[in-house]
A and B are shown apart, each in its own frame.
Chain A
Amino acid sequence: MEPGLYHLLFISTALFFIGVFGFLTRRNLITMLMSIELILNSVCLNFVAFNKYVWPGELDGVFFTVFIIAIAAAEAAVAIAIIINLYRSHRSIDVEVAGELKG
């Protein structure tokens, strides 16, 4: 069977929910950030697949993907700065340790 849009959508859906699974089970901030990267990648894959198979007359999916990658890079940089700062103050990057704001 020739691979087409539905195969790509299967891969991106599976990648998205693997990311969601990792986000729900992990309690370490760096691994949660890695799960978010997986989710963003699945979204990018979706945009490119739809641009190729459903909307080939424009390049909108390409630009959305480029901007998502740029914003993901900025987000990862800020998240890692926050993680390093949290490690300095708490000596741990487990999300359960940082509970000062919990009611």
Chain B
Amino acid sequence: MNGSAIIFYGLGALTLVSALLAVTAKKIFRAAIFLLFTLIGVAGIYFWLNYEFIAAVQIVVYVGGIVVMIIFSIFLTQQSGEKLPSPPTRRMVSALVATILGFALAGLQIWQHHFTGDGKIVIEPSVLNIGKRMLGTGDGGYALPFEVVSMLLLAAMIGCIVIAMRSNNKTT
């Protein structure tokens, strides 16, 4: 057991334990903070895999953007000290059974399957390679999805403003 393995298991434990606490915490603000630690743990796993660009994107977008937005919406919509009602026992048990069965089935499938690499030359996931591929129009280029995603983000931004805008002329 070397240092790399210890770091990996630590990151995995951080991710899974805080994810479990995020879905079971009684106070919604604590759930948001545990979600923050889960996302940081996943970003740490990306760092461990040497995918620095993905890890940076994960931290900037999720930890810096989505969690902050979730915390703002918690402040806007409810008293943060209020406890969430615990789910009824019947729903809890059926969700637990469904989850454990699904986990067992998926784990069995993964365990029985033997994954083999394609044996090609390894492309380093450096920012240079990612940038060349992302804006490339040739084989293996992702310029078209990149543009489509930019249009989607614009549409989502306008849609958010329209949905959340308080309409003044409506009297009902």
Q: Which residues of A contact B (CB under 8 A)?
A: 1-3, 5-11, 13-22, 24-28, 30-31, 33-35, 37-38, 41, 44-45, 48-60, 62-63, 65-67, 69-78, 80-85, 87-88, 93
- Total CB contacts across the A-B interface at under 8 A: 220
Q: Which residues of B contact A (CB under 8 A)?
A: 1, 4-5, 8-9, 12, 15-16, 19-20, 22-24, 28, 31-32, 35, 38-39, 42, 45-46, 49, 51, 53-54, 57-58, 61-62, 65-66, 69-70, 72-74, 76-78, 84-85, 87, 91-92, 94-96, 98-100, 102-103, 106-107, 110-111, 115-123, 125, 129-130, 133-134, 140, 142, 145, 149, 152-153, 156-157, 159-161, 163-164, 166
Alpha-carbon separation in the docked complex, A88 to B163 (Å)? 12
Least distance between A14 CB and chain B CB atoms (Å):
5
Q: A3-B8, A34-B70, A59-B130 are in contact. List 14 more A-B contacts (CB 8 A).
A: A10-B110, A15-B15, A18-B99, A20-B102, A25-B95, A27-B85, A30-B28, A34-B23, A56-B117, A58-B140, A59-B140, A70-B61, A74-B157, A78-B163
Least distance between B134 CB and chain A CB atoms (Å):
7
Chain B at the A interface: SS class: helix
Does B156 lie within 8 Å of A77, measured CB to CB? yes
Report B-chain residues with C-beta under 8 Å of the C-beta of A26: 23, 84, 87
